[in-house]
Structure 1
Amino acid sequence: MKLVAVTAGLTQPSSTRLLADRLTEATARRLAGHEPDVRVIELRELAGDVANAFVTGFPNARLREALAAVTEADGLVAVTPIFSGSYSGLFKSFFDVLDNTALTGKPVLIAATGGTARHSLALEHALRPLFAYLRAVVVPTAVYAAAEDWGGGHDTFTDGLGERIERAAGELADLLSHRAPRARPGEGAEEVVPFAEQLAALRPNR
């Protein structure tokens, strides 16, 4: 099972990268027994490649490899800093370069970071519509981390953020656990579990 995180943080160290790490770690814990192969794609390192792809119309080898990793992933964690009330230009540009069918039926956890909690609604009015347009299956809980959520520093975070991370990770893990396995080469296209069934998997047993 392949779990890929795409993070658009611009600094190093980056709270955006840190949030991506916490989300993938929490998801992997809940997938015990499946041993997910986790990869993090730092868009900061691909900024020039993404820009060149727009100009030339052709991604270079490094960008093609990153795009293939996202396309072949069983699940995706997508994290962006919030600028001017929306996702970053680099974040949007990467998904513009990605084939518009690459995320069809793919479970996606969306998350964002920002200086103030006032920008948390960007997850609902910007990120969720973007991934809905790409026909991904976005988990119900989106995770926003403001500066004050990190507590005493980047090594710790508030209970509220911790709870959101665990809830969202649990929803993504549930979708991944119930998703049909990817077809091997030569065995035909991947079977995608119907959206209604994937939502049902998130509901607690009664």
Structure 2
Amino acid sequence: MTRLVVVSAGLSVPSSTTLLAERLTAAVVAQLPDAEVTHVELRDLAHPIADNLLTGFPTGALADAVEAVARADAVIAVTPVFSASYSGLFKSFLDVLDPGTLDGTPVLMAATAGTARHSLVLEHALRPLFAYLRAVPVPTGVFAASEDFASPELSVRIDRAAGELAEAVLRRPRPHAVEEFTPFERLLEGLGG
């Protein structure tokens, strides 16, 4: 089983950020049918995130979200763009995570904005952020401006990124997997002459 955590920082309901997260999730699950998906909607955790920043301790649903990310085999991270970068809520959630939480974890980065002028946010803000956190962002990030949702090109980018995340998951050593146990007697078979 693959633990896939989808972090969406959309603020409105409905949200284009959440819509993109859902499309990315469906594409990844098509590639990894054994995936167990956990959705983390940051909008619902805004107050607990602020409390955590003040107290240093996650509680309730935020503690569950932090634990899910810590145990994830892969993460889909989607943020709206504010002031040419990721949202403050998105960054605050990542600040809540303990150092090393995302070490080696494959991440599919995505962002939404009103216009295509913000498309470089993936490369100038998100990729360096995830590199700093020692995650492993897949090569294709997915940016969607408002007009992109009707474009077949968005589906092509989504499928490419989903395939890259699935491949990264399948190549990655699985820290949560139980190693196969070989009984000592079987190890000694054939040595006794």
Flag whether TM exceeds 0.5 (same fold): yes
Task: Tell me the distance in 2 between the aligned counterparts of 1:31 and 1:59.
Answer: 30
Task: Tell me the distance in 2 between the aligned counterparts of 1:103 and 1:57.
Answer: 18
Task: Tell me the distance in 2 between the aligned counterparts of 1:82 and 1:20.
Answer: 14
Give 1:110-189 correspondences, 5 Å limit: 110-151=109-150, 158-183=151-176
Task: Tell me the distance in 2 between the aligned counterparts of 1:46 and 1:183.
Answer: 26
Give the residue type in structure 1 aligned to 2:16. Answer: S
Q: Name the structure 1 match of 2:15.
A: 14
**What SS class does the counterpart of residue 62 from structure 1 fall into?**
helix
**What SS class does the counterpart of residue 139 from structure 2 fall into?**
coil
Give the residue type in structure 2 aligned to 1:44. Answer: R
Question: Structure 1 runs of 4+ off > 3 angstroms?
Answer: none
Task: Tell me the distance in 1 between the aligned counterparts of 2:22 and 2:38.
Answer: 10
Looking at CA atoms only, which structure, 1 or 2, has the larger radius of gyration? Answer: 2
Task: Give % identity.
Answer: 58
Q: What count of residue pairs does the alignment treat as equivalent? A: 178
Q: Name the structure 1 match of 2:105.
A: 106
Task: Tell me the distance in 1 between the aligned counterparts of 2:57 and 2:176.
Answer: 28
Task: Tell me the distance in 2 between the aligned counterparts of 1:181 and 1:55.
Answer: 34
Q: CA deviation at 1:150?
A: 1.6
* Contact 2:71/2:176, CA 8 A, preserved across alignment: no
TM-score (norm 2): 0.89
Task: Tell me the distance in 2 between the aligned counterparts of 1:177 and 1:22.
Answer: 21
**What SS class does the counterpart of residue 162 from structure 1 fall into?**
helix
TM-score (norm 1): 0.84
Q: Which runs of 5+ in 1 are unaligned?
A: 152-157, 188-206
Q: Which runs of 5+ in 2 are unaligned?
A: 180-193
Give the residue type in structure 2 aligned to 1:16. Answer: T
Q: Name the structure 1 match of 2:183.
A: none
Give the residue type in structure 2 aligned to 1:159. Answer: P
Q: CA deviation at 1:56?
A: 1.4
Per-residue displacement from partner, 1:67-108 (whole Å, max 9, x unpaired)?
000110100000000001000000000000101200000000
Task: Tell me the distance in 2 between the aligned counterparts of 1:87 and 1:11.
Answer: 16
**What SS class does the counterpart of residue 12 from structure 2 fall into?**
coil
Q: CA deviation at 1:60?
A: 1.3
Task: Tell me the distance in 1 between the aligned counterparts of 2:176 and 2:167.
Answer: 20
Q: Given the superposition, is the C-alpha separation of residues 136 and 114 from structure 1 closer, same or farther in structure 2, using an over 3 Å criterion?
A: same
Q: Name the structure 2 match of 1:3.
A: 4
Task: Tell me the distance in 2 between the aligned counterparts of 1:3 and 1:56.
Answer: 28
Task: Tell me the distance in 2 between the aligned counterparts of 1:31 and 1:113.
Answer: 24
Q: Name the structure 2 match of 1:198.
A: none
Q: CA deviation at 1:184?
A: 5.2
Task: Tell me the distance in 2 between the aligned counterparts of 1:37 and 1:118.
Answer: 35
Q: CA deviation at 1:182?
A: 2.7
Q: Name the structure 2 match of 1:196.
A: none
Task: Tell me the distance in 2 between the aligned counterparts of 1:36 and 1:182.
Answer: 16
Q: Name the structure 2 match of 1:193.
A: none
Q: CA deviation at 1:66?
A: 0.5
